[in-house]
Amino acid sequence: MSGSEPRPFVVFGFDSVHDTLAAEDVLRSGRVPAVTIPSPRELGELCGIALRVEPSAAPDVEAALAAAGTPARARATILDR
Amino acid sequence: MTESARVVYLDNGATSWPKPPEVIEAMASAMREQGANPGRGAYPMALAASRVVFESRRACADILGVPDSRDLVFLAGCTQACNLMLKGLLEPGDRVVVSSMEHNAVTRPLHVLSQQGVVVEVVAADSTGLVDALDMERAVKAAPTKAVVCQHASNVTGAIQPIADLADIAHENGALLLVDGAQGGGHLDIDLAGLEVDAYAVSGHKGLLGPQGVGLLYLRPGLDARELTQGGTGGSSSEQDAQPQGRPERYEAGTPNTPGIAGVGAAARLLAVHGAEWRAEEQRHFRMLKEGLLAMAGVTVYGPALNEPSVPVLSITHDTIDPDRIAFLLDRRAGVAVRAGLHCAPWAHRTIGTLETGAVRFGVGYATTEADVRTALAALAEVLA
């Protein structure tokens, strides 16, 4: 088990797996680090996948996704390791 | 010698063969390395499977001229795509205008719909299988019409229908244009957004060079077709009883055919690079075949004139020898694989006058060679001698 303390991350949820992967592509192209994770309940979902980013990157993520026409459907902050 | 090594395969109207090695490898890789369920998990293999589906969809969208790949749905075949296109959009009381060249994938769903109150108006094509846009327009204007339904190309004669004109006619009269593109995908350079069709069904395993068991349906943005199947989609809204309405999930309930989708995606990537060159070679070999058949005594060739556009499919009959006998002897004597019968298109055979006898269909593909054509023509000459 990891001994690291939970810290805040921002998670973005999308309408579909397709949209999540499209958003992942956008972020990858813009070299914005994002991790694909199971959708946390904070997004209102118990199934599917979501993108997790550092809080400091969240504004850039929102801007990049909006510019690409693939905005997130939901955003939440979670504590994670 | 293996069984396949002696085959001169000219049944590409049924399915393309051989499949490119890249297609086979992509399918094997999907089972070997991306074998988890796509869209159902966030661990690496599940994500890899999800990306296979995602990237295949984008590759298919690219070669079909679909700007937003979410508008392209994976199904279990073109027949399912035709069923969704028709049953998802038509309601009792609607009237449709349909060509007389349609395949059973269209005519049988329309038969069911007609029993439910959809009015089906059939417009006859000419003896080459070509639909006259003016005839379709007259039929559309005769009464309020919900949809014009037409194939892109005939699976019997190869005739290419005037889809762009039909789109104009349909839209000028407040109707939809629904297209069965089974014989179009891969054999024609297709730009679905440019054609302005409302829905277009594609086979993954014919000209698109993928495996059997995969079809695609394009639905233009905003077109609200009812889904025919409800179930798990793996993604958002799992807690809801109602089917998610977003594309493509709305139409893809259940575990997708990842290996098949991987194969058609690999094929689409190949066609993006080689498609124009392969289509040119197909047409060259098809013309060679057609010229040879037109020169044979006693043979009637069903299809557009030699210099008219056609997908690489045609049918023939002979004055005295039945089609089934011709197909059997071509196979037995020279390993030439062709298909006799009605090709699941009795309407088309009624139109061209071969409903009672059937015909022998030849379909050229990307892998057909000059030697294949020469072998087939020589074998046919011997069978008919």
Per-residue model confidence as pLDDT tens digits over A33-45: 999 999 999 998 6
Residue B45 contacts A where some CB pair is shorter than 8 Å: no
Residue A77 contacts B where some CB pair is shorter than 8 Å: no
The 8 Å CB, 24+ separation contacts for B339-345 are B339/B11, B339/B13, B339/B14, B343/B13, B343/B103, B343/B155, B343/B156, B343/B315, B344/B103, B344/B104, B344/B105, B344/B155, B345/B101, B345/B102, B345/B103, B345/B104, B345/B154, B345/B155, B345/B156
Structure tokens at B258: 């990842």
Query: In chain A, what percentage of residues exceed pLDDT 70?
Result: 93
Residue among B69, B234, B239 whose CB faces A17 most closely: B234
Domain boundary among B270, B292, B316: B270
Beta-carbon pairs below 8 A across chains A and B = 65
Contact state of A18 with B238 under an 8 Å Cβ cutoff: no
Give the model confidence (pLDDT) of B280-299 as tens digits: 999 999 999 999 999 999 99
B325 and B348 share a domain? yes
Please state, in angstroms and rounded to a whole number, the distance separating the CA atoms of residues B98 and B110.
9
Taking a C-beta distance cutoff of 8 angstroms, is the pair B64, B72 a contact? yes
Is the pLDDT at A79 greater than 70? The verdict is: yes
Query: In chain B, what percentage of residues exceed pLDDT 70?
Result: 98
Structure tokens at A12: 């973005």
DSSP percent split of chain A into helix, strand, coil, nearest 5: 35, 30, 35
CATH number for position B353: 3.90.1150.10
B85 and B196 share a domain? yes
Closest by CA position to B94, among listed B115, B122, B119, B123: B119
Closest by CA position to B249, among listed B265, B230, B266, B264: B230
Domain boundary among B254, B270, B286: B270
Taking a C-beta distance cutoff of 8 angstroms, is the pair B368, B146 a contact? no
Contact state of A17 with B38 under an 8 Å Cβ cutoff: yes
Low-confidence residues in chain B, pLDDT < 70: 1-5, 236-238
* pLDDT at res. B2: 46
> Does ipTM surpass 0.90 in this model?
no
* pLDDT at res. B267: 98
* pLDDT at res. B265: 98
Report the SS3 class of residue B283: helix
Query: In chain B, what percentage of residues exceed pLDDT 90?
Result: 94
**Shortest Cα distance, chain B CAs vs residue A49, angstroms:** 6
* pLDDT at res. B64: 98
Domain boundary among B270, B300, B335: B270
B301 and B322 share a domain? yes
How many domains is chain B built from?
2
Residue B69 contacts A where some CB pair is shorter than 8 Å: yes
Please state, in angstroms and rounded to a whole number, the distance separating the CA atoms of residues B292 and B327.
17
Structure tokens at B37: 């369920």
B216 and B362 share a domain? no
Report the SS3 class of residue B242: coil
B96 and B238 share a domain? yes
Which residue of chain A has the CA closest to B248? A18
Closest by CA position to A34, among listed A16, A46, A49: A49
Please state, in angstroms and rounded to a whole number, the distance separating the CA atoms of residues B122 and B381.
38
B266 and B279 share a domain? no
B340 and B236 share a domain? no
Residue B99 contacts A where some CB pair is shorter than 8 Å: no
CA distance to B5, B117, B174, B320, per residue, from B2 (Å): 5, 53, 56, 34
The CATH code belonging to domain A14-80 is 3.30.70
Report the SS3 class of residue B11: strand
Residue among B47, B70, B238 whose CB faces A18 most closely: B70
B83 and B208 share a domain? yes
Give the model confidence (pLDDT) of B8-39 as tens digits: 999 999 999 999 999 999 999 999 999 999 98
Is the pLDDT at A4 greater than 90? The verdict is: no
Residue among A22, A36, A47 whose CB faces B235 most closely: A47
pLDDT band at A1 (very low <50, low <70, confident <90, very high): very low
**Residues sharing a CB contact under 8 Å with residue B65, sequence separation 6 or more, in sequence order:** B190, B191, B192, B193, B194, B195
Structure tokens at B251: 């139409």
* pLDDT at res. B122: 98
Helices within chain A (DSSP H only): 17-29, 58-68
Please state, in angstroms and rounded to a whole number, the distance separating the CA atoms of residues B359 and B103.
15
Angle at A70 between CA A69 and CA A71, to 5 degrees: 105
**Residues sharing a CB contact under 8 Å with residue B173, sequence separation 6 or more, in sequence order:** B137, B140, B141, B145
HSE-CB at B164 with a 13 A cutoff on CA atoms is: 5
Residue among B47, B234, B249 whose CB faces A36 most closely: B47
Find the Cα–Cα–Cα–Cα dihedral B55, B59, B62, B68, rounded to 10°.
-30
Residue A74 contacts B where some CB pair is shorter than 8 Å: no
Helices within chain B (DSSP H only): 21-32, 44-64, 78-87, 104-115, 133-141, 163-172, 192-195, 258-294, 323-334, 346-352, 370-384
Q: Give the amino acid at B51.
A: R
Closest by CA position to B289, among listed B162, B380, B209: B380
A-chain residues near B50 (CB < 8 A): 17, 21, 49
Closest by CA position to B82, among listed B110, B120, B62: B110
Q: Give the amino acid at B267.
A: A
**Domain ranges (residues) in chain A:** 14-80
β-pairing, B199-203 vs B215-219, is antiparallel
Give me the residues of A, 33-72, that contact B with CB < 8 A: 36-39, 45-49
Residue among B41, B54, B237 whose CB faces A18 most closely: B54
What residue numbers bound the domain in which B62 lies? 22-270
